[in-house]
Structure 1
Amino acid sequence: MTAVARPTEVVWTLGDGTAVTCAGPGTPYTTQADARRTSPDCGHTYRAASVGRPHQTYGVVATVHWAVTWTGGGDSGTFPDLTTTSNAGFRVVESQALNK
């Protein structure tokens, strides 16, 4: 049997009261990427440092929705919606403001 899972959507709960929904898997990070540039397809900018928050971090949760198809034994089909969730803490140490 062969199964193929493709991410269809990622919902990011960003720990600052913001949630961002991104179509597909998003753009993979590469070491050549400019960290100062915004994401080409899905991103978020924190407006405050994480100082004073629990563990000095923003608690981030990523929920990925998958489309899963399978083939084998002369049959094929799809699995019902599959969802996975992962979480991590991210420290934001600097927040900049612009005055005009």
Structure 2
Amino acid sequence: MARPTKTVWTLGDGGSVTCRGPGTPYTRAVEASRPSPDCGHTYRTTPAGRPHRAYAVSATVHWKVTWQGAGQSGTFPDLTTTSNATVRVAESQALNTGG
């Protein structure tokens, strides 16, 4: 049996986030503008000077894997899988003219 124990996100802006388990699954019912209930990140700088105007993001999932067979059982040491993506982040600016 394989079970994710944590996910470490490297977010491309110098930040990282570690989430317990796999994090919260995405559903269409949740508005994209709402923050994650357990594992989120807010970009504070624009990716304008970066290649493709995007952040290089990776997620490394740490797994607990147990096995049994032929009358024996065991646990594999910390196994990981990593995925990479390029994420474009939109920026919104406002100007308050005081009136």
- CA 17–78 in structure 1, closer or farther in 2 if over 3 Å, else same: same
For 2:30, the equivalent position in structure 1 comes to 33
Paired residue secondary structure (1:55)? helix
How many aligned positions are there?
Answer: 96
- 1:3-26 deviations in whole A, cap 9, x for unaligned? x11110111110001011111110
Which consecutive residues of structure 2, in runs of 5 or more, have no partner in the other structure? none
Shift of 1:52: 2.2
Q: What's the TM-score once normalised by structure 1's chain length?
A: 0.87
- CA 76–53 in structure 1, closer or farther in 2 if over 3 Å, else same: same
Q: What's the TM-score once normalised by structure 2's chain length?
A: 0.88
| Structure with higher RCO (Cα < 8 A, 6+ apart) | 1
Aligned counterpart in structure 1 of residue 3 of structure 2, from 2, 6, 20: 6
Does 1:94 pair with 2:99? no
Q: Distance in 2 between matches of 1:60 and 1:40?
A: 20
Aligned counterpart in structure 2 of residue 70 of structure 1, from 67, 70, 90: 67
Q: Distance in 2 between matches of 1:23 and 1:51?
A: 31
- 1:30-64 deviations in whole A, cap 9, x for unaligned? 11111111111100011123222111110001111
Say which one has the larger Rg: 2
Which consecutive residues of structure 1, in runs of 5 or more, have no partner in the other structure? none
Identity among equivalent pairs (%): 72
Q: Distance in 1 between matches of 2:77 and 2:11?
A: 27
For 2:81, the equivalent position in structure 1 comes to 84
Q: Which runs of 4+ in 1 moved over 4 A?
A: none
For 1:52, the equivalent position in structure 2 comes to 49
Q: Distance in 2 between matches of 1:34 and 1:53?
A: 28
